[in-house]
Structure formats: structure tokens, C-alpha cells
Amino acid sequence: MDLKGENIRVNAISPGVVPTPAYQTSLGMSEQLLAKYVEQVVPGIPLSRVGTTDEVAKAVSFLASDESSYVAGIELFVNGGLAQV
């Protein structure tokens, strides 16, 4: 509400498991540990796979585009349905 006069819409992206180099650099996971982690979490993800950075980028692109001009105040889960289980 504070930003509506500025034509600024506020939305949030909440990604699920999306393996990136940060798993290794920031979290210190080895490739083997990351692979084991992915293997353990995939059965709990309704789409049965982890996401990609491209899929998250497409969601961000949508929210930044005119296509979402009437979307405001949402949290968009890009997580293969994990938040709905």
C-alpha cells in the first residue's frame, strides 16, 4: 500500500531446491553430498525433480513484465509443488 502511488508492485519469489554453485561455495557441500541431498529430497517434490535456475528466472521475468501488471503482494512458489504438500 505504501508504494501504490509510485506504481511499484511488490511480489516475492520463493524457490525450492534449485542446485547452484552456491550449494558448494556457500554451504560447503561436495558434489557427492549435493547429489545425495538431491536424491533424498526429490521423492518429496510433487514434480519428482529439482528445479533449474532458468525456471526461477522465468518466474522473475513474468513478475517483472507487463504480463503481471495486475499481480501484487504475492509470494510465488517456484518449487515443483513442494509448498503445497
Instruction: Write down all domains in the chain, each with its CATH number in brackets.
Output: 4-84 (3.40.50.720)
User: Residue 85 pLDDT more than 80?
Assistant: no
Q: Is 55 helix (H, G, I), strand (E, B) or coil?
A: helix
Q: Among residues of the chain, what percentage have pLDDT more than 90?
A: 89
Give the CA angle between residues 81, 74, 49 to the nearest 5°. Answer: 20
Q: Output the CA–CA distances (angstroms, integers) from residue 17 to 10, 23, 31, 66, 73, in the order listed.
A: 23, 10, 15, 28, 23
pLDDT digits (tens, 9 = 90+) for 22-75: 999 999 999 999 999 999 999 999 999 999 999 999 999 999 999 999 999 999
Average model confidence (pLDDT) across the chain: 95
